[in-house]
Amino acid sequence: MEVPASFASVPRSALYAIAPFVLVALILSFIRAYTTWNYYRRMRQITSGPGKPGKTIPPPQIPYTLPYLGNALSFLNTTPGAYWHKLFSWHPRSSGACTLLLGGKKTHIVFTPHIVQAIFKNKTMKRDVFEHELFQKVFSLPEEQIANAEAGKHHEHEMNAAYLTKFDRVNELTETFTRVLDEVLAKDAEEIVKKDSIGLYDWLRDRMFTASTTALLGEEILKMYPEYCEDFFKFDQEFLGFFFDLPNIMMRDAIARRDRILKKLQAWGKAMQERSGGSPIDPEGPAWEPLFGSRLNRARQLDYKKRNLNARSGAAFDLGMTFGLSSNAIPATNWMLLHIINPKGDPTLYKRVMADILKVQNPDGSIHTPTLIALPLLQSIWTETLRLYTDVLVTRNLSEDVKLPLDEDGKTFIEMKKGDNVFAPSYIGHHDPAAWSGQKNPSEEFWAERFLAPDPANPGQEMFSITGTNGKFYPFGGGRTICPGRVFAKQEALGALAMVLLRFEFEFLGFVDKSGKATDNFVKPGSNFPGSGALMPGGDMKVKVLRRQRLN
């Protein structure tokens, strides 16, 4: 047998055929080598001692291989936190910031509490580029409609201030939410208890969605569109794919779903206008009415016209509002409930929570919300749930070069250029082992008491405290773009939790993973794009629901 002695014996045509691949491989290796060299050069500048006070450095660019795409493919890992865990296994957090190339765009990732806070405080930094892309890519609104939306953006702040964040208005929303949830759970107390086994998340997600959507949008929407819950949560999980420019072929189902949701919401809006006699009931009128629901929604529907938003754009805004109210509070409530009744968790937790909730029950069986949301243990559980299970990217686009001090001593500055983007990913701070060290339980573990501290005013008692978490903990974003629904979200979530626990007990049957197979492990977050907000469970707890035996 003859073995070719050298390349000379390889046919020339084969060499020509592989030449382009060799060239591409060479170019890619060169890019990798160059970006790696550049990375270590920057890191040396950062770590080479304090130097002159006022030392200014650009954040180190994380090495990459593919031009333009840069770090995008690995960044878009849909296992929550996977990209950050991998990055910080070799890149030191002490650098304070680093840069990713994402689809041709320099994106600075900032993660020292000091810089994160500086970004929140800076009132001139905006995120309008991202809002534009949201309208354009996720909702595919035409430019002229986007211009109308942008021109009237201040209306949203005004409406939120008037109808969402004000104390009385939040309470009205909570009241309707509670009324509807109570009706739904009362029905379950007859029906669901007959079933041998249900998925806890599946069940509660549906019930809470019904209550919050009815409180916000009235009681006709789910009659006209009973699959809204199902469609919405699928959309919630996939919509960032539009934002990150995944190819259409991967987004086919998502496109169909988005178009269906918008069509259904549009039909609903039209029908409600007609039945309301052409215009929604005055937002200053009743707190809630069946057709358009809350004051906030009525104000928004009127506002769409003022801003010259057409019916499809209006539907996109309705979907956005549903997102604001449901995408975080509902999964967060589920995580709380899962941990409280987890038979493999702290065996005393359920009893302590129940004792607290029974204390805030009114004689008629209802719950006194202001006392409920001030209970230290429940606040700590809510906060710990948000810490572990939210992943928000606070985004800003830079219209000017900006220099920010890396940490308190103010000796080193990082410099970011006009036109670049800045991301402050909450996941990094929420899961920083150092930030939560000195505490008995590691950062990756759920610890119900993490946010409890001795109460100096009442020796022997504990109080809720988030002292020392500035810039490390921001589940609702921060600064001017902080989520306006956060007050309602807390009332909604703790209210729903208490109502469910007061009405039912749960017999644990087992955990299932995201494909529905039995597993010994506690539920993990499912696939979520980075920046998805609250993480959806990727699995469930199977339980038998029983009516709670009243203790009193």
Task: List residues near ligand NAG by CB under 6 A.
Answer: 118, 122, 124-126, 128-129, 397-400, 402, 404
CB-nearer residue toward ligand NAG: 124 or 248: 124
Strands (E), 121-215: 198-199
CB-nearer residue toward ligand NAG: 471 or 475: 471
CB-nearer residue toward ligand NAG: 131 or 356: 131
User: Can you tell me which residue has the tokens 């919300």?
Assistant: 369
The answer to whether the beta carbons of residues 406 and 114 sit under 8 Å apart is yes
* DSSP letter assigned to residue 537: B
Helices and strands in the chain: count of H runs, count of E runs? 21, 17
User: Can you tell me which residue has the tokens 């990798």?
Assistant: 32
Handedness of CA 433, 107, 137, 124 (dihedral sign): positive
The answer to whether the beta carbons of residues 479 and 486 sit under 8 Å apart is no
CB-nearer residue toward ligand NAG: 114 or 298: 114
Residue 121 CA to residue 384 CA, distance in Å, equals 25
CB-nearer residue toward ligand NAG: 399 or 441: 399
CB-nearer residue toward ligand NAG: 131 or 505: 131
CB-nearer residue toward ligand NAG: 118 or 381: 118
Q: How far is the CB of 412 from ligand NAG (least distance, A)?
A: 15
CB-nearer residue toward ligand NAG: 122 or 140: 122
* Alpha helix positions (H), 48-123: 72-75, 82-87, 113-121
Residue 392 CA to residue 335 CA, distance in Å, equals 17
The answer to whether the beta carbons of residues 318 and 298 sit under 8 Å apart is no
The answer to whether the beta carbons of residues 327 and 214 sit under 8 Å apart is no
Other beta carbons within 10 Å of 26: 10
CB-nearer residue toward ligand NAG: 400 or 444: 400
Residue (of 167, 462, 507) closest to 343 by Cα position = 507
Residue (of 252, 412, 232) closest to 322 by Cα position = 232
Q: How far is the CB of 56 from ligand NAG (least distance, A)?
A: 13
105-110/97-102 β-pairing: antiparallel
Q: How far is the CB of 127 from ligand NAG (least distance, A)?
A: 8
CB-nearer residue toward ligand NAG: 105 or 352: 105
**CB contact set of 305 (below 8 Å; sequence gap of 6+):** none
Q: How far is the CB of 99 from ligand NAG (least distance, A)?
A: 17
Handedness of CA 228, 234, 236, 238 (dihedral sign): negative
CB-nearer residue toward ligand NAG: 378 or 402: 402
- ∠ CA 525-530-533, nearest 5°, is 70
Q: How far is the CB of 113 from ligand NAG (least distance, A)?
A: 16
Residue 29 CA to residue 122 CA, distance in Å, equals 40
Residue 292 CA to residue 224 CA, distance in Å, equals 13
Q: How far is the CB of 404 from ligand NAG (least distance, A)?
A: 6
366, two tokens: 């209802």
Q: How are the residues of the chain apportioned to helix, strand and coil, as percentages rounded to the nearest 5? A: 50, 15, 35
Q: How far is the CB of 124 from ligand NAG (least distance, A)?
A: 5
Residue number closest to ligand NAG, CB atom = 399
* DSSP letter assigned to residue 248: G
CB-nearer residue toward ligand NAG: 129 or 453: 129
Q: How far is the CB of 398 from ligand NAG (least distance, A)?
A: 5
Side-chain-side CA neighbours of 188 within 13 Å: the count stands at 23
Q: How far is the CB of 95 from ligand NAG (least distance, A)?
A: 19
Q: How far is the CB of 116 from ligand NAG (least distance, A)?
A: 13
454-472 in b/e form (b: 16+ CB < 10 A) is eeeeeeeeebbbeeebebb
Bridge partners (DSSP) listed for residue 56: 413
The answer to whether the beta carbons of residues 23 and 61 sit under 8 Å apart is no
